Each structure stands twice: as structure tokens, then as C-alpha cells.
Structure 1
Amino acid sequence: MAPDTAATSATEVDPARGLTAEQVAERVAAGRTNQVPDAPVRTLSQILRANVFSPVNGIMLALFAAILVAGFPRDGLFVGVVVSNAVIGVAQEIRAKRELDKLAVLSAPKARVVRDGEVAEVGVSEVVADEVLELAPGDQVVVDGEVLTSSGLEADESLLTGEADPIEKEPGDELLSGSFVAAGSGRYQATRIGAKSYASSLSEEAKRFTLVNSELRRGIDTVLRWLIIIIPPASALLILVLLDTEDRWQNALQGTVAAAVAMVPDGLVLLTSLSFVAGVVALARRRALAKELATVELLARTDVLCLDKTGTITTGHISFGDVESLPGVDPSLVATALGAMAHADEAPNATMLAVRDAYPAPDDSDAGGWSPVGTIPFSSARKWSAMEFRSHGAFYFGAPDVIAGDLPAVMDQVAVHAEAGRRTLLLARSPEPLADETLPESRTPLALILLEDTIRPDAPEILAFFREQGVNLKVISGDHTATVAAVAKRAGIPNAQNHIDARELPEDTDEMAAALADNAVFGRVTPQQKQAMVGALQSRGHTVAMTGDGVNDVLALKNADMGIAMGSGSASTRAVAQLVLLDNSFATLPEVLAQGRKVINNVERVANLFVTKAAYAVLLTALVGIFTVEYPFLPRHLTLVGTFSIGVPGLFLALAPSTELIRPGFLARVLRFSIPAGVLAAVASFFVYEIARRHGEGDYVDKVLPEARTVATFTLLGVGLVILVVISRPLRPWKIGLAAAMGGSYLIVMVWPWARNFFELDVPPAWMWIPTIAAVVIAGAGVVTIPRALRRYQDQ
């Protein structure tokens, strides 16, 4: 944590020179650096506590203690689940943490500091007290400070205050870390650094490792909450019944532990987390930073993908095309004015950089007349910038429809170029001085500047992929509507001809949602409108993903279900997005979708196994209570069944490839399959158990009861393997082989004398195999028909 001296008032420093090397060294030696706390990142001890002392592990350890008290240590095999949960969970989380830490270094925000009159880029943690920092559009304010110089500096504090409108900052005003530069440029001096500044929580956001509230986790948490409610009373009732049925209290406790162990979905949380972690690591290898585990789930559930044109569909590089001087305008004046504006701009955007490359600065003989005396930097809200020169008046550069208004001579030409996909800007002149960032009444259009966007090479193919996957594509941009539509058409956006100027969009959410449904391309969209459009789509039940790379996309990225930022984008977009494509590769998104499908489908399969186990355990407990008989299984029997029909195959299924389309209703679908399947498994095994118990011959305790429990175990395992095959669809040879291997493993236990004796399994007489196999076949047939019945139910 930073020392208290980090929060003291700043020393007066020359904004042009900044701190000297000696002053920086003194502050570093004194520990007055911007070291932020490591709280957002799980430490090794936190990882160990989270994975060892989980509620499920706590229940299993309590049951293990109970079985030891009862004097049956061999029945404590289920404690191996606690060990495996902890070991696998810790190992996988540490592995994922290392991968994310590596990528977070690339994504972490940087700061430009002024030292000895030179501007240098340093890591956020290298900023020292009283540092002078330089800001440009899109930069993140990394420490709290006081503005020293301002050239139209505007701060977006929406992440701090919720206020969407940028706030103008003048010398002496306070800047809060965690805000972003929306427009203009300037320098400010650090006043609060380290843990004292707001950035201590935001600057390390890329390294946060959390399990967010996804549909999968919500569904699993619901199952766990209900089971925690059900298990204690069910166990209490069962032990009362068994105390009356069994000869010894130890046997009653043994049967109760067996039932409780079966009810606990011991590996469900582990395998769910394992699936998430595997997805995150797979994306990390593709240089995609998923800042939350559920990121891999989000895109797979997305049905509307909103694309920002610049930097997403296009490369973000603007190439200069041509200049069309309007009738009666001297082309040399246009060229000189454009060169003067571009070279005098202290924080040029991509457009100005393209102009700067095309036109030189005015020569020395005329430089004095082209020295700017006033500047209004570009703002995405205004859509224009302006610069006033001492001898030539004020020049305005930006969107033609904003600067020229309704002048048909200008707008007709703009429309022609826009239809051809060219980005068109207007240069206008006014004799009036700059005032209050408003356009003057008197302004003369001088020339149209034609620029071109470069489509990303992989964009058409990737957009076609999303179309095939049923994802609705919307292009949202601040550029001219026709220009955006032309670019969208070139990129392969369907229905790109259906476009609308965002200034015509209604403010009412329902009406806006209707307009969004009817159109695919939207131009002249303000940052606030992007945010409102995301909300309107969500109001219709859509899951919305938003891509962007500029500060004008921050509000929309923050409010979308999934925000996707490019690695080359502004620090603001990288900070609020759930997914950062560090190599700017649009082609990574299909991999994100594939990983999401894999996680969702595999977790559903695993959940079916564990919820089925809990269902048959609860029903068996009820049947034992109704018929007042000994519990059909020992804990070691259920450990055997759980290992071969759930645990081991579940581990393979959790990591298996899966590309099936995602459907909503995860929990409802799991319950509709698992409860009937659990009922069939419980009834089949209890039916066989009762036949063997009632009709067996010989000593009841030493022969009949072990034989009855053996055939019940075989029946439960047989139905469990049928369930495994059914939920593994679509079937592959390896999946069938997995089920066969699990069945073969049980047969090895049966024929190996030591294993058979350890698990207290007795080979029953031949006649018992007839009802046993019949029960497995009948219950298995019922399990096979469940998916068909569910499909018919859903189709009604």
C-alpha cells in the first residue's frame, strides 16, 4: 500500500519540464510511487481456501467424520472427492491465473509522463508523487490530479458518477483516476497516487479472476441451495427409520451417510469451474484476454452483435483519398488550411493524421499568418473540430451534414460519395471568432475531403460465420449513414440497405427497439445513443454483445451483456470490456463462440449426471422410510457407482469438444431430464433390492442382505451408464468406448476377489440376474425415451 505521503498536496512543477530525474529518484527511494493493492487478484492462500473450504467439501468432510465415528473407515472412500476437488481446482486456477497475468501485462493501462522536458510512456505503477502527466483523447486518467494545461480537455466520468456527458476541464480543475479523456488534450499533476486514488481498483481490473453470475452458475447455485435445504431433514428422518430397522446404531449411521453422500453433487462445482477455466486458457492461447470466467459463456448466448464500424469492421486506418474544392474556392487555400490545422493539432485523431500525411505544414514565409490563436478539438458529440488563425479567420472541419446543414449543393455531392463508400468530411470557413463550441451563423463551405476505410481482411468471412449461427448483426457508427451502409455492404452485413440516421431515432425505448428490429445499419450515432440502443435491444429479451475500440464506445460496452474491445483500442474500452482481443484479430471471435458452446453444453451434460444422482438418492431415502428397510447401499457402493457412472466420465465430458447450438432454459432442461431419470434409476434398483432381500436364501445379515445390495448396485450402475450414453449425444466412438470402459471396470471389481471383498459385493445366485437385467433394460428404455418426450413437449 502506498504511504500516506502519497496523498499530500502536490509540489509546484513546471508543466513543460515536469519532474527531474533526481526528483523522480528521490520519490522512488521514499516509496512514493503509484503501487496499487493486489486485492483484485487471488493470492495462493485465497485460492487454497476457496477450493478446500467450499460448502460441498465441508459437507463431505462432516460425513467422513461421521463414518469414522461409526467405525467403517472403508466406507470413507468418498473423501477422495474432497482431495481431487481441491487439487484439480487449485491447479487449474493457478494455471489460468498465470495465463491471465501474462496477458494483463499487455492490456494494462500506460501513462505518459513529462520528465526533464521529455514525454515518456511508463507503467502505471511507475508514476511517482507530483508527476506531470500528458493526456490525449481516449487516455485513461491513472491517478488523481489537478489540471495544469487544457486544450479543450473533456473528461468522461461515467464510470465514476454515472454522468454520461463529458465534463470540460480547465486549469485548476480536479481529474479523478478511472475517468477517460473524451476530447481535447492537456497536462495534469498527480495529487493522490497508489491506494489513495480511485485507479487502485480500476487499473488492475484486467487481472481480476472471478466467477461471475452467469446462467450456468445461477442454475447450479439454485440446485445446491435446494439440496442443502433437503439433505438435513431427509438425513434426520432416515436415521430415525434406520435406528428402528438396524440392530446397531453404527449401521444406521452408515446407511444415513450413504444416502447423504449420494445426495451431495460433490463434483458438479469442480467440473463446472474446470470447464470455465479450460475455456479461458484456450482463449488466452489465442491472445484473447477473458477478464471473467463466464466470458466464454456470454458470446455463445449472444443473439445480437452490435459492431462499431471503425476499428472493428475496418482496420481503423484512414487513408486519404482526394479533395474536391467547391465552386469558386481556391484549391491552394484549402490545401494550406488543411496542412495548418493538421500540423497544429496537438492530439490528432486518425482523420487528422491522414490529412497530415497528405499535406505539409505551411512554409516558413507564411507560418506566422497560420499560427492558431484558438482551438476547439474534435468531439464525437459535436462531430467537428475548429481552429482560428490570426490572419485567416476560423476553419471548421467535420461532418458535412452538421457543418453545412441543409445546403443542397454540398449534401448532394456528399450523398454521391457516401453511396460509393467514401467517408466525406467538410472544411468550412467563418469570419467570426471561435465561441463556446457552437457553430457560427456565418460559415462558408470550402471543400469536401474524401477518406476511405479499409475493411479488415477477415471481416467478411467472420460476419458470414455469425450470420450462419443465427446471430443478428447491427452496425452502429458515428459516421455518415450512407457511408456506414456502404462499408457494411462491402463487409457482407445482411440488409445493409436498411439504414437510418440515428438523429431520426425515437427516444422511447419501445419505439427505438422497433426501429432497431427494422434496420441493420445506423449512422450519426452519439455515445449516449449507443448506450440507449443496447438497452432497447435488451428490453426485447436479446442478449447483446458490443464491439468497439474508441472512448465513444465506452458507455455501450459497459452496458452490453458482453463488451469486446480491440487491443489497439483506447485504454477506456479495454478497461470496461469483458473480452480484449490483444492482437486485434476479429477471427478470434468464432473461437470464443466455440469455447462458449463447449462450456455450456458440457456443463449441462455434467449437471444432468449429478442432479440425476441427487434425485435417485432423495427418492431412495423416501422409499426406505416408507418400507422401513435397511438402506440398499453402503457408502462404498455409491462411491463405486458414482466413480464409474458420473465422476470419471464427467471429467472427460467436461472437456470434450462440443459445437451444438445453445438454447435458453439450462436449469429447466436439466430438471426435466434428471428428475425422471433419477426416479427410474431409484425405482429399478429398489425393486431389484426388494426382490433379492425378500426371496434370498441363507443368513439374512451375512448373505441375503449383501447379495441384495450387490444386485441393487449393479442395477443402479447399469441405469447410470444408460443415462451417461443418452446425455453424451451426439454419440462418438470414444463416448461409447468410455461407457463400455466404465462398465468393464465394474466387472473387474466383481471378478477380482480382493476388490469384491473390499466393496462387500457378493455374487448373487443365477436367478437374481433375470429381474436385475430386466430392470436395467426397462429403466434404460425409459431413460432413452425422455429426450424424445421433452422434444415433443417443447414443440407443443
Structure 2
Amino acid sequence: MQGLTAAEVAERVAAGQVNDVPVRSSRSIKEIVRGNLFTRINAIVGVLFVIILAVGPVQDALFGGVILANTLIGVIQEVRAKRTLDQLAIVGESRPTVRRDGVAAPVTAEQLVLDDIVELGPGDKIAVDGTLVETADLEVDESLLTGEADPVVKQPGDPVMSGSFVVAGSGAFAATRVGRDAYAAQLAEEASKFTLISSELRGGINTILKFVTYAIIPAGIALIISQLTVGKDDMPEAIRRMVAGLVPMVPEGLVLLTSVAFAVGVVRLGKKRCLVQELPAIEGLARVDVVCLDKTGTLTETAMDVSEIRALDPDAPAEAVLGVLGSADERPNSSMQAIIDAYPAPDGWTVCDSSPFSSARRWSGATLKPPGPDGETATWLLGAPDALLPAGHPVLEQVDERGALGLRVLLLVRSTGTLREALDRPLTEAEGVTPAALVIIEQRIRKEAPATLRYFADQGVAAKVISGDNALSVGAVARGLDFPGAEHPVDARTLPEDPEELADIAERNSVFGRVGPQQKRALVQALQSRGHTVAMTGDGVNDVLALKDSDIGVAMGDGSPATRSVAQLVLLDNNFSVLPSVVAEGRRVIGNIERVANLFLTKTVYSVLLAILVVVAQVPYPFLPRHLTLIGSLSIGIPAFFLALAPNAERARTGFVKRVLRFALPGGLLAAAATFGSYLSARGTYDGNLEAETSAATLTLFLVALWALAIIARPYTWWRIGLVLTMAASFGVVLVVPFLQEFFQLELVGVRAPWVAVGFAAVAGLLLEAAWAVLRRRTAAGDKADDDMRARSEQ
């Protein structure tokens, strides 16, 4: 099959028969603008903005700038993230090999056209639907589409579907459906989009916004009726006071800051060559408490070196056979590549039949005829010793001795049967298998692995090694890294099938060897069944199922296309040490958004309570929109923007909404009580001077809000202290500069009322400190209980 000619490709492109589904890592510019403009927050604030423009001066419409700010900042940050992701996606995307004009060459998935001949090898993801025209022991995993985990053996004429991937063998297929006609095209496109959903943070924030939306309509009705009653039917003034009561109920900056914090995280990780394929992965990895590591490609480098060939049969031409087996493998794995580098193929040998490596049977083989008329054709197999020899065989003792030193050991055997017979039944049950040589391969431990493992240990994240290699060899590598539990590696062939028993073993042990693809998946599910949030790293086809089922899948950049397609994070430079940066970014996002959410929700609580108090007491609402815009900007909006992007290494915890409300409810209650008390006191002092009464209430509310900011900004650094002091100074400037006094209608009259206002704020601040201390003690006690429970489960 020579493939299409250049002219035939051009004809199909002109006819639109091209795979035109762009696999995008982000939303389009149009979608970004629409998604940031048409939000629930902008709709609520926009309606209030239009209302105030109709009745009030421009000073009272300042809050409308929130719509513009939310949209512009959100769009700018997401466009930055989009550009970063798009550039990284180009680097990390798979490139199928296509035959055109008789030459095989890689192209992008979007360049495939109808009737293209696409070559397949182990680990290749099938990009479009097609019909097989060539196969060589081809096995395809269609579990991502059908849910059936067993690989399907394919023959010429069989269909293949986009979204499946090759686990063994090789072949080629003719593309029959491309673009949006392909089976998994839409699914793949949606799965790879940059998304802002499906996270606890955003779910919690949306829950809060839902309740605010439900509360704002009855609150608005009650306020307008109340203000009309006390204002002697002055409709414009009543509307202004009503809008002033409703605007601060909306946590307008919280959604913006969440989006900005996530987008900035994407850009920061992009600079470290980490492709975030699903945005919540940043948050998700920060919540992980168990990380499962594949040894090869994660703890060790993919490149290996053959250190020794130990002959078991002196008459066997082991080095020559190894050279021929290497040359016959079109898609060599890392072990075979080490053999190819060490032993070039000799001349004169003929490959009569061959079978590539399969992670299910754990060996590859070929029927070879040596040079010369007297050369005897024989079948040679190379793979895991325990897959080629029965248990208890003397050679396996030698294998274990070298495996215990951290070496990878392959066994070369000669079989009297045919290669097809070897494929039909387990080799350990076959007779006529003669061990020829042990191939000893050294693995290079990644230099960044020890520091990364120490980081996870310090952060309370349990690490587990789950590898397909010999258990003793895996244990030796783990011991070299001072890995906890490395002294007792578990051979996965002894693992029970009962889920409860498997979960017990998975929690008690840390190092597992001889783990098959299904067992990797089962171990991940077992840990999840015990309430763990599990991350899985991997680079090979045998890791795909576990990556897919884990909470967070992390693939290496030079891993198979299948692993990269199902993972949420791709480390493009295969740099394992980037994972702590991802965890740190997630913790920064989670911790900082929770920190600023305390401020926004406190404002919502005191706004609701003030509205209720005003309606019940039948007094004018103490503020105009401009006053609350000033207070909100200086005590929440501006400082929250800086706090949301600051470093934060606090451990991520569940229960976002519950914890935020623990601070926001008492904080809002104290702010509302102090402000309303100061307002009533000022009414008694000024006797109808509404501007003076408002100024006293504004002073109290600002001081309480500033005190809350000072609490939330802890632990203090020089810039946090400077931030709080700058906000305080800015409010002071408004109080003393005549132009700003007039603009915001603020003027402190006399001495008594302002000092009473300060007194109310001081009492509220001290009570807020006490509430914060109690909250911190409860949080610390809860964290200690979680740590104790985790320690008991690990024991």
C-alpha cells in the first residue's frame, strides 16, 4: 500500500475531505469574550447599573466599572493562558505516520485526509476511523470508547475507531471517516478544551452565587418599599438607597479572581513546560493525598544501558540473536532500544516470523534463520524471565539476585515450537524452552526524583510505586531513593482479586512489582475506595487504564500518544520535578481563593443583615452606592487581587463553602451590628443630617472591614502589612481632601460621633479576633484528626 499521491491529497483537501476537527487546548477568542461578559454576576450588576444611571449621579454608578473590569481582566488573563496552552499543545500533540507517494512521514492529525494510509505501532492513538489493510499481531484497546478493557486482536478488513489505541503489534489502516464524521471526534474535542468547571472551588462559588441570586429579588422589593415609606415617596432617592443595599450583596470579584488565579497558574506552569489539558487539574493535584508512580520513565529515565550478557547456553549465539531481534522491532521500547544500541544486527540472518512486545504477555519474539546453508531455523523469545519460565526454575534465582540490586533483567530463550504456538498458550506451560542468556540492563535514576519524593513526604502525600518490572528490582530502585516501604516489595501476581482485601494491601504497602495494566487500574480504584484522592503518573500503554481512572493523570511528554491523550497534565520535558510546582500552584489557587472568599462573603452577609435591619427599623438606608463602592474597593476588591496571586503553601482541604461561612457569618454579623449601632447613634447626635450620619456609619464599616482584611492577610510579610496600611491611608485621603469629600459625600462632623464610630468598630474588631482564634483552633484540631486518621490507615 503506497498511499495517496500528492495530487490525490490536494483533491481531497479541496473537497473538504480533511480531518478538520481542531484538537484545541483552549476556548476560542469569541468564546472567551462571551464567557467572561455574559455571566450571572455581570447580569445582576448590569441591571442595577442601568437602574442607577436613570436616577442618580455618576458617583453612584461607579460599581458599574466592575462589569468592565471583570470582563477585561478575565479576557486578558484567559487569552494569555490560551496562547501558552496552544503553544504547548503543538509541542505535545501526537503526529500520526502516513504513507503518501510510497513514503511514510509524520503529519498532524488535522492534515489527515480521506483514504490516507495511516501506520500503527504500540502506543499509537488512532486519530480517525478506518479499515485495516495490514496487521502484524495487532491488538487494539477500545476501552476509552466501549468500556471493554480486554485488547481486541485485529485482522485486515476489521474496522478501527478513533479514540482507541494500539497496545501491541503493528499495522496500517485506510481512513474511512475523518473530521466530525469520525466516531470520537466530538468527544475528543470537548475533552481537550480548556475548562473552568468541575472543581470544588468553582462548584462552591456557584452554590454561593445561586443563593445570592435567590435572595436579591425579595431583598430589593423589601428595600424599595421601606425607602419609599421613610423617604416620603422620593422615588429616585429610594432607588439609590435600594441599589446601595443590593450591590454589596453580590460577591462580584470572587468569580473574576478565581478565573484569574487559575489562568495565571496555567501560564506559570506553561513556563515550566507543563501542559495543563484540563484546568481543574491544577486544583486537583493540590488535593491529592496519594500519588502512584510508575518506575520506568518516572523514577528512572527512559534511556537504559546494557551492562552485561550472562550466557546460560554456551552454544547459543546470544549477541547475534539480540541484534536481529532489535532490528526486527519497528517500535522498540526502552529496553529493546538499549539492546539495539549495544548490539547492531549482524548480516545474513533472515526473519521468518516476528511478534512485537506486548505488555499483557510481557515478551517479544521472532523465528530466525542464521546465515549459511546449514543454519537451523529457530524461534527466539525475549522478555520477563517469570513469563518465560515456570515458577521455581533455577534461572529465576539468578534473576532475583540481580533484580535485588536494582537491575532490570530480561531472558533470551530458544523454543522448539513455532512462534504461533508460543502466542497461543502461556510459555511457562510449554516444553522445549531453553534459557540462552540473561540480559542485564542498568536503569538511570532521575536526579530530581529524591528531592521530589521528599517534597511529597513533607507535604503528607503518600507515594506508591506501581511498576510492571520485577518486584525485587523495583524494591531495589526504591531503596536507592530511601522510599518508605521499599524493604517489602509486593509481587502483584500474589494480589487478591477481592476489592476489600486489595484495598487493605494497597494502603499498607508502598512498592508493587509485576503489576499488569488491569492490576494498576484495580490498585488505583482500591485506594479511591478508601477515600483517597489519587494521582497516577506514567508514560507507557500499560499505564493508560490507571491514568484514565485516577483523579489526576500525569503523563510524560515522550510517553505514548495514548497516555498523553487521557492525562490531565503532560510534563513535556519529562521533568518529574515539575510536580511540586503543580502542587504549589494548586495550593496557591485554593488557599488564596478561600482567603479572599472570606472577605467577599463577609460583605455579602453584612449587606443582607443591614438590609434586614433597615427594613425592620424603618430608617433610611445608611449608604449610597458610592460609599459601598469605596469601602468594597479599599477593603476587599484591590487587596483581594494581590492576595489571590500571592504565594500560599497551605495544604488543600475539602469543605470550601463550610469553612468560608465559618468566618463570613460572624464577621458579617459583627460588621452589620457595629455599623447599624454607629448609624443609630449618629442619628441621635446629628438629628436628620443624613450626610453626617452616613459618614459615621461609613467610618465604622470601613474600619471593621479593614480589621477583617488584616486578619485574612496573615501571616504578615512586608508587602501584606504595606497593603493593609495603603488601603487605610487611601481612605484617610478621601476623608481629608475636599474634592474627594464632596465626590463621595463624606464628611466627619464634630468629635463625639466619629469617636463613637471608632469605638463600635474597635469592639467589633476585638470580637472578630476572638471568633478567628476559635476558628483557627477548630481548623487545627480538624487537621490533626485528619493526619492521625491518615497515619493509622497507613499503619
- The bucket for the TM-score relative to the shorter chain is over 0.9
Residues 299-341 of structure 1: CA deviation (Å, up to 9, x unaligned): 2211111100111111111211212222xx2254333332332
In 1, the alpha carbon distance for the partners of 2:13 and 2:327 equals: 37
Match of residue 371, structure 1, among 351, 354, 363: 351
Displacement of 1:285? 0.9
Match of residue 544, structure 1, among 512, 534, 541: 534
Q: Please name the residue that 2:791 is paired with.
A: none
Match of residue 221, structure 2, among 224, 227, 236: 236
SS of residue matched to 1:305: strand
Q: Please name the residue that 1:497 is paired with.
A: 487
Q: Please name the residue that 1:279 is paired with.
A: 265
Q: Please name the residue that 2:681 is paired with.
A: 691
Letter in 2 for 1:437: D
Displacement of 1:710? 0.6
Displacement of 1:37? 4.8
- Answer yes or no: is 1:660 the counterpart of 2:650: yes
Letter in 1 for 2:359: S
Displacement of 1:685? 0.5
SS of residue matched to 1:497: coil
Displacement of 1:237? 2.0
Which runs of no fewer than 5 residues in structure 2 stay unpaired?
Answer: 370-375, 783-795
- Answer yes or no: is 1:529 the counterpart of 2:519: yes
For the structure 1 residues 591 and 331, does the alpha-carbon distance in structure 2 shift closer, same or farther, using more than 3 Å as the test?
A: farther
TM-score w.r.t. the length of structure 2 is 0.94
SS of residue matched to 1:309: coil
Letter in 2 for 1:745: S
- Answer yes or no: is 1:123 the counterpart of 2:108: yes
In 2, the alpha carbon distance for the partners of 1:259 and 1:584 equals: 54
Tell me, yes or no, if the aligned pair for 2:23 and 2:192 is still in contact at 8 Å.
no
Q: Please name the residue that 1:306 is paired with.
A: 292
What does 1:111-260 align with in structure 2 at a 5 Å threshold? 111-198=96-183, 200-201=185-186, 208-247=193-232, 248-260=234-246
Match of residue 514, structure 1, among 504, 508, 513: 504
Q: Please name the residue that 1:88 is paired with.
A: 73
Displacement of 1:554? 1.0
Match of residue 569, structure 2, among 549, 572, 579: 579
Q: Please name the residue that 2:309 is paired with.
A: 323
Displacement of 1:601? 1.2
In 2, the alpha carbon distance for the partners of 1:25 and 1:437 equals: 45
Match of residue 358, structure 1, among 342, 351, 357: 342
Letter in 2 for 1:398: G
In 2, the alpha carbon distance for the partners of 1:108 and 1:688 equals: 62
Q: Please name the residue that 2:596 is paired with.
A: 606
For the structure 1 residues 173 and 38, does the alpha-carbon distance in structure 2 shift closer, same or farther, using more than 3 Å as the test?
A: closer
Q: Please name the residue that 1:343 is paired with.
A: 327
Q: Please name the residue that 1:383 is paired with.
A: 362
Match of residue 548, structure 2, among 532, 539, 558: 558
Q: Please name the residue that 2:793 is paired with.
A: none
In 2, the alpha carbon distance for the partners of 1:71 and 1:351 equals: 76
Letter in 2 for 1:159: L
Residues 358-417 of structure 1: CA deviation (Å, up to 9, x unaligned): 3333432xx2xx4323x3322111112232346433222211112112133112111111
Displacement of 1:428? 2.0
In 2, the alpha carbon distance for the partners of 1:431 and 1:636 equals: 91
- In the comparison of the two structures, how many residue pairs are matched? 769
Tell me, yes or no, if the aligned pair for 1:100 and 1:207 is still in contact at 8 Å.
no
TM-score w.r.t. the length of structure 1 is 0.94
Moved more, 270-279 or 46-55: 46-55
In 1, the alpha carbon distance for the partners of 2:664 and 2:52 equals: 28
Match of residue 643, structure 1, among 633, 654, 662: 633
In 2, the alpha carbon distance for the partners of 1:730 and 1:406 equals: 60
In 2, the alpha carbon distance for the partners of 1:332 and 1:672 equals: 75
Tell me, yes or no, if the aligned pair for 1:325 and 1:331 is still in contact at 8 Å.
no
Q: Please name the residue that 2:698 is paired with.
A: 713
Tell me, yes or no, if the aligned pair for 2:24 and 2:189 is still in contact at 8 Å.
no
Moved more, 111-120 or 191-200: 191-200
In 2, the alpha carbon distance for the partners of 1:275 and 1:477 equals: 36
Residues 14-66 of structure 1: CA deviation (Å, up to 9, x unaligned): x2x22223333333344432221578742222211111111100100111122
For the structure 1 residues 424 and 120, does the alpha-carbon distance in structure 2 shift closer, same or farther, using more than 3 Å as the test?
A: same
Q: Please name the residue that 2:426 is paired with.
A: 439
In 2, the alpha carbon distance for the partners of 1:634 and 1:53 equals: 27
SS of residue matched to 1:34: coil
Residues 502-546 of structure 1: CA deviation (Å, up to 9, x unaligned): 122222222212101111110111111111111111111111111
Q: Please name the residue that 2:790 is paired with.
A: none
Moved more, 215-224 or 716-725: 215-224
Displacement of 1:85? 0.5
In 2, the alpha carbon distance for the partners of 1:558 and 1:207 equals: 14
Displacement of 1:346? 3.0
In 2, the alpha carbon distance for the partners of 1:108 and 1:461 equals: 29
Tell me, yes or no, if the aligned pair for 1:320 and 1:451 is still in contact at 8 Å.
yes
Match of residue 401, structure 1, among 377, 386, 405: 386
Residues 632-685 of structure 1: CA deviation (Å, up to 9, x unaligned): 111111111101101111111111122233333222111101110111111001
Tell me, yes or no, if the aligned pair for 1:147 and 1:186 is still in contact at 8 Å.
yes
Match of residue 42, structure 1, among 27, 47, 58: 27
Q: Please name the residue that 1:10 is paired with.
A: none
For the structure 1 residues 158 and 515, does the alpha-carbon distance in structure 2 shift closer, same or farther, using more than 3 Å as the test?
A: same
SS of residue matched to 2:493: helix
Which runs of no fewer than 5 residues in structure 1 stay unpaired?
Answer: 1-14
For the structure 1 residues 141 and 31, does the alpha-carbon distance in structure 2 shift closer, same or farther, using more than 3 Å as the test?
A: same
Letter in 2 for 1:383: R
Displacement of 1:252? 2.2
Tell me, yes or no, if the aligned pair for 1:258 and 1:633 is still in contact at 8 Å.
yes
Tell me, yes or no, if the aligned pair for 1:160 and 1:179 is still in contact at 8 Å.
yes
Match of residue 458, structure 2, among 442, 463, 468: 468
Tell me, yes or no, if the aligned pair for 2:132 and 2:155 is still in contact at 8 Å.
yes
Tell me, yes or no, if the aligned pair for 2:405 and 2:476 is still in contact at 8 Å.
yes
- Answer yes or no: is 1:416 the counterpart of 2:406: no
- Answer yes or no: is 1:621 the counterpart of 2:611: yes
Identity of aligned residues (%): 49
Moved more, 295-304 or 255-264: 295-304
Tell me, yes or no, if the aligned pair for 1:104 and 1:207 is still in contact at 8 Å.
no
In 1, the alpha carbon distance for the partners of 2:27 and 2:410 equals: 49
Tell me, yes or no, if the aligned pair for 1:146 and 1:188 is still in contact at 8 Å.
yes
Tell me, yes or no, if the aligned pair for 2:475 and 2:486 is still in contact at 8 Å.
yes
Residues 451-471 of structure 1: CA deviation (Å, up to 9, x unaligned): 121111111121112211111
